[in-house]
Amino acid sequence: MTQDVGRGRLALIAGGGIGGLSAAASLARLGFRVKIFEQADDFREVGAGIQVGPNGVRAIKNLGLLPQVSEFTWLPPALVMRDAFDASDICRIPLDDRFRQRFQEPYAVIHRADLLGVLLQACRENPQIELFTSSRLAQVDELDERVRITLEDGRRIDGDLLIGADGLRSVVRQTIIGDGAPRPPRYVVYRGVVERHRVPDALWEPEVVMWTGPDADFVHYPLRRGELFNLVVTFKSPIDLDPFDIAGSYDDMRAPYESFHPTVRTLLEMVPVERKWLVTDRAPMHGWSQGHATLIGDAAHPMLQYMAQGACQAIEDVAQLVDELRAQPDDLPAALNTYAGKRYHRTARVQFSARQMIELCQVSGALADLRAKYFRERSAEQLHDGLAWLYSPLAGERFA
């Protein structure tokens, strides 16, 4: 019986993002009582979209939430990489029937708030889950057979299990791994969502499109059944960045795009500039589990957004964690340890691939010419082959 795994034991979760809420919903289904602590005064996501590859769709299915999530998704017909100057397509990966048959699920895009909303509702509907906001975890202590967390306001809670889902600057990670701050940021992101009717018909496209130029790119795709349009600007900063200075400006955002195609410059004007995001990652690191505590999502394996996988990998983590808890319900530290070991190589590969991909996307000169030649010589099947390691069902994967 699934409920027998948790046996009413208490799971504590630090962080109420996509990873933390996914873990809460899944652990409660296993029969754990769950307390989830979010530092912000509400559970909320950035006003922007995310792409969910077939592996991410499968992980959402595993949570039992695919029908609810599907109400909000858009299924783009292709992934397009486009030259920023002459608007020619460098690469077009069809997301057609062949793609869906091969990877068994579609490629979807969704507004972050819609995904978070579905996860939050699943948590709120489950009486096993208690949600706490304005609750920042400050300290973790290993007890004999349990784990203790101390919140910034002094509250102490003991649990049988702690999941650190507290993102890039995870406090739980510092207890378990202790590797300090992430890499200094090099890339600047501006992003936002506009209503479909604000986008001129000639510029609206159903695909996920990335315009690529030297040290800068611009991505757009529809969201929420096509009612919205998502816009994402990413460029390499020519100067060192202060990781906590997030004030944006039009001048800052426009400068790298001055010579880009007029379509990009028109769409750029719709991107909000009140704030920017400074994105970075960490090098892959094993050993995310210690005793009764473990890490998931960005706390475990933060990555650049260039494989569109951070959230997908967080939800995959949860599926693996659930499998290991089911397999070793009498030995929680062993289950957590096995989980981390099984996830390490795959997530490390995605982290490294994301670093390579940003280099590939933002090249110039002869390298850009070689890139175009390489992709234009590839058939759809060959392009799909290149994604098989990421999107194909994992060995031993099973559904809840």
Ligand X SMILES: Cc1cc2nc3c(=O)[nH]c(=O)nc-3n(C[C@H](O)[C@H](O)[C@H](O)COP(=O)(O)OP(=O)(O)OC[C@H]3O[C@@H](n4cnc5c(N)ncnc54)[C@H](O)[C@@H]3O)c2cc1C
Instruction: Give the footprint of ligand X on this chain (CB under 6 A).
Output: 14-20, 37-40, 50-51, 56, 136-137, 165-167, 171, 189, 232, 277, 279, 297-299, 305, 308-312, 314
Q: Which two tokens stand for residue 295?
A: 């890490």
In whole angstroms, how close is the CB of 17 to ligand X at the nearest point? 2
Give the nearer residue to ligand X in terms of CB position, either 39 or 353: 39
Within 125-260, residue ranges assigned H as helices are: 171-176, 250-254
What stretch of H or E contains 375? Answer: helix 365-376
Give the nearer residue to ligand X in terms of CB position, either 32 or 235: 235
Give the nearer residue to ligand X in terms of CB position, either 209 or 312: 312
What one-letter code names the amino acid at 82?
R
What stretch of H or E contains 348? Answer: helix 332-361
In whole angstroms, how close is the CB of 135 to ligand X at the nearest point? 6
8 Å CB contact between 361 and 355: no
Which residue do the tokens 């094993």 mark? 286
8 Å CB contact between 307 and 353: yes
Helix (H, G, I), strand (E, B) or coil at 158: strand
8 Å CB contact between 46 and 223: no
In whole angstroms, how close is the CB of 7 to ligand X at the nearest point? 26
Q: Which of 67, 167, 73 is nearest to 122 (CA)?
A: 67
Question: Among the options 107, 221, 339, 391, which is catalytic?
Answer: 221
- Residue 67's contacts (CB-CB under 8 Å, 6 or more residues apart) are none
Side by side, which strands form the sheet with 129-132? 129-132, 33-37, 10-14, 161-164, 293-295
In whole angstroms, how close is the CB of 331 to ligand X at the nearest point? 26
Cα–Cα distance for residue pair 21/17, rounded to 1 Å: 6
In whole angstroms, how close is the CB of 327 to ligand X at the nearest point? 23
The question of whether 221 is a catalytic residue gets the answer: yes
Cα–Cα distance for residue pair 301/314, rounded to 1 Å: 9
Cα–Cα distance for residue pair 263/86, rounded to 1 Å: 11
Cα–Cα distance for residue pair 268/190, rounded to 1 Å: 10
Give the nearer residue to ligand X in terms of CB position, either 18 or 201: 18
Give the nearer residue to ligand X in terms of CB position, either 99 or 202: 99
Give the nearer residue to ligand X in terms of CB position, either 19 or 31: 19
> For 219, what's the count of Cα atoms within 13 Å in the CB-facing half-sphere?
23
In whole angstroms, how close is the CB of 13 to ligand X at the nearest point? 9
Cα–Cα distance for residue pair 216/330, rounded to 1 Å: 51
8 Å CB contact between 87 and 263: yes
Quick one: 108 exposed, middle or buried, by C-beta within 10 A (0-12, 13-18, 19+)?
buried
Give the nearer residue to ligand X in terms of CB position, either 104 or 150: 150
In whole angstroms, how close is the CB of 96 to ligand X at the nearest point? 20
Catalytic residue numbers? 221
